[in-house]
Amino acid sequence: CPLMYHSIERRLDGSLEIDVYVPSAEAFDALLLYLYRGYYITEGIRDPLPLVRHLEIYKVAREYNYHMLLRHAYVGFLYDIQRAYLTPEPPAGLLEGIRFIFMHLGKEERILSSLLNYCLTKFTKHSLGRNEDFCVAVAENTVFQQALIKRNIDRGFQDE
């Protein structure tokens, strides 16, 4: 596994140590599941993972240049965004996901594009404008505000 290979360090006593940065304990669990099984979503779970979990895994995969894991995380993120189009509620971990994207993945156009399209398309149906936490997340992140406005203009205000 390339991720583990590049993370192994030999200690002074000759033992091996693995040093991998993962943003959260849940992301670490997901990473271990992926390394062990080849996927990080456990069988039998009906509820989607919080969006932020896919994004954390995506970040780890990008940092360690682990393309298969990157693909899995991206597909998981897209799947849960697409699933949210069919539900009456926003996806789990949306607000944390927004914050994480703009802190760590702001230049990942395909992720940002999917997030912006979801927010604009479901703004009314998912009551995002009346969701105080969503409004705070937008207000505290001017880059996100500007991206939403620009995308709305680019889409010809079709969702209003």
Q: In whole angstroms, what is the distance from residue 141 CA to residue 153 CA?
A: 19
What mean pLDDT value characterizes the chain? 82
Q: Tell if the pTM clears 0.85, that is, is over it.
A: no
- Residue 44's pLDDT band (boundaries 50, 70, 90)? very low
pLDDT at 2 over 60: no
Record the tokens describing residue 56, joined without a space: 């954390």
- Residue 108's pLDDT band (boundaries 50, 70, 90)? confident
Q: φ and ψ at 90, to 5 degrees?
A: -65, 160
Q: In whole angstroms, what is the distance from residue 74 CA to residue 50 CA?
A: 13
Q: In whole angstroms, what is the distance from residue 21 CA to residue 19 CA?
A: 7
Q: What's the pLDDT score for residue 22? A: 73
